[in-house]
Each structure stands twice: as C-alpha cells, then as structure tokens.
Amino acid sequence: MNNKKPENRAEEMTSHTRFYSLRKVFRHKQGLVGGILVLFILLMAIFAPFIAPRSPYERNVPRMLEAPSSEYWFGTDMQGRDLFSQIIFGSRITLMAGLASVLISMVIGVFIGIMAGFLGGRLDLLISAVIDFLLSFPTLILALIVVAILGPGLNNAVLAVGFQGIPIFARFIRGEVMVQKEIGYVEGSVALGASRLRLIFRHILPNIVPAITVMATLELPRVILMLAGLGFIGLGAQPPVLEWGRLMVSARDYFFLAPWLINFPGVAIMISVFGFNLLGNALRDVFDPSLQ
C-alpha cells in the first residue's frame, strides 16, 4: 500500500518529468551543440587562470601588435599584452555581467508579471500600461537612456541592460500566469481555501519555472550583445576591465594594421551568443507543449 501523500507523489512525478525533459534537451541536435558551446565557455571562464598562458596585464612593448603565432596564439595588442589571455579572462567578466543583467530583469520582471497576472483588475491595467510604454522604446535606446543618467561603466551598463529587460519578462510572465489561473488545479485549490501566497509559490510559480528558464536562456545572448555594444561605443566597461566589447573598442584605431584585435573578441562573442541561442531554442522546443 502506498502511504505517500498526494503532494509528495506529485512532486516526485514533477521531478521525474523535468529530468526526462532535460534528457530530451541534450538529445535535441541544437541542444547538444548549444550545450557543448555553453559548457566550453563556462569551463573557459572557471579555469581561466589555468588555461591562460600568461597574465592578461603583462606588457611586452617590444612585441606589441605582433600577429598570431605559435607563441602568441591570438597575437598581441598595442602594449604587447597577450590577446588570448585577455579573451580567456574576459569571458569571466562578460558572462558575469550578462548573467547579472538577466537576473535583474528576471527577478523584477517575474514579480511584476505575477502580480499583474494573478491579481488582475486595475493593478493589471496600470502595470500593462507602463509595460507597453517601456516596450515602445527600442531596447538599446532604453539602455542608452539609463546609462546616460547613471554614467558610463560596467556596473551601470549591467543595471541599464537589466532595466530594459524588465518589461519583456513582465509581459511574458503575466501571460503565463493568466494561463495557469484558468487550469483546474488552481480553481480546486481556491475552493479548498488556499491562500494567495500558497497559490503563487506552491502551484503557479513551480509550473512556470520551465518558461522562465527558457526566457532567461534566450535573453542571455541578446544581453551579451547589448553589453558588448555599450562597451564598443565607450559606455560599458572601462579600462582596465577585460570585457570582450571593451577589447574591441580599444582596437578600433588598429583595425587595418592589426585586425586580429577585433576579430578574435568578435568571434568569442559570436560563439557564446550562438551557443546560448541554440540551447534556448532546444529548451523552448522541449518545454513548450504547443511546439510538440
């Protein structure tokens, strides 16, 4: 005889379903390729001190602007520093800044979206109007406005990019919550006298976690590109921060003389964006029943 409570059995079934879905992600062709690329970038960032052949700040002026070779795989910059080491260490800053921006957007956007979708009424109308107003601005323009107010710098760029992503998350989560509200188990919980907090944290939020995960994964490559763009125009990371976009802006004046200074950071950005896009597409295909 099974003595387990229905809630415990439901939790076990949910855990099993999520594990099975995760296996399906990596059986997905795009998920496998994207997962490998993302894992490669993450391992590069974690083990940067062991991978980089020398310090990214070590100057060797006699070897400045040296083309890629067996000693300097990606060449050297205008101060003779190893570009390969700079890109390896720059992966840490780029990923941390991107994840921080997405986290800001996700936490605040999910909270606002749940409040609007679950409570409804005038609060929903007010929040929706504010979201529509913010979404009327192009995302890069909105980020530029925030950076112009706060000033240039990596931290301010992270806040600006995080802020422009809040309405995107809020609108998406609002729609997901409104769908969940119409499902029978929520109505049944209401009939049994469940409180609003229990409905949100026990029933609705766990069921929209896969959608939040997909949204965050798809947002990360866009955020990385936006941070690189802000760095390229001088409003993002400032020297000596080793962010990929800043590495490119430092090399603008040497594009024809030393094109590797822009090409290799650009390729690093491309690989990371491509990997997260593929992984996000695979997650969406697996977790979105309408695409099955």
Confidence of residue 179 (pLDDT cuts 50, 70, 90): confident
Every domain of the chain and the residues it spans: 100-292
The fold adopted by the segment(s) 100-292 is: MetI-like fold (1.10.3720)
Whole-model pTM? 0.83
Above 70 in pLDDT, residue 22? no
Residue-level pLDDT at 13: 39
**CB distance 82 to 76 below 8 Å:** yes
Residue-level pLDDT at 101: 93
Above 80 in pLDDT, residue 277? yes
Convert 199-220 to b/e letters by CB count within 10 Å (16 or more is b). Answer: bbeebbbebbebbbbbbbbbbb
Confidence of residue 186 (pLDDT cuts 50, 70, 90): low
Above 50 in pLDDT, residue 196? yes
Residue 82 phi/psi, 5-degree rounding, is -70, 115
Longest CA pairwise span in the chain (Å): 79
Question: Tens of pLDDT along 278-292?
Answer: 888 888 877 765 544
| Cβ contacts of 279 within 8 Å, gap of 6 or more | 25, 30, 31, 34, 35, 37, 38, 217
3-state secondary structure 223-291: HHHHHHHHHHCCCCCCCCCCCHHHHHHHCHHHCCCCCHHHHHHHHHHHHHHHHHHHHHHHHHHHHCHHH
Residue-level pLDDT at 290: 52
Residue-level pLDDT at 284: 80
Mean pLDDT, to the nearest integer, of 91-110? 92
| Cβ contacts of 35 within 8 Å, gap of 6 or more | 25, 26, 275, 279, 282
Residue-level pLDDT at 193: 62
Above 80 in pLDDT, residue 71? yes
| Mean pLDDT, the chain, whole residue set | 81
Mean pLDDT, to the nearest integer, of 174-184? 79
Percent of the chain scored above 70 by pLDDT? 85
Q: How far apart, in whole angstroms, are the C-alpha atoms of residue 103 and residue 255?
A: 35
Radius of gyration, alpha carbons of the chain = 23
Q: How far apart, in whole angstroms, are the C-alpha atoms of residue 277 and residue 270?
A: 10
Torsion region of 12: left, alpha or beta (phi above 0 gives left; psi -120 to 50 gives alpha): alpha
Half-sphere exposure of 71 (CA within 13 A, CB side): 7
Q: Pick the most confident of 43-47, 193-197, 226-230.
A: 43-47
Give the CA angle between residues 182, 187, 189 to the nearest 5°: 135
Q: Give the least confident one: 15-24, 128-137, 210-219, 264-273.
A: 15-24
Confidence of residue 170 (pLDDT cuts 50, 70, 90): very high
Confidence of residue 42 (pLDDT cuts 50, 70, 90): very high
Convert 270-283 to b/e letters by CB count within 10 Å (16 or more is b). Answer: eebbebbbbbbbbb
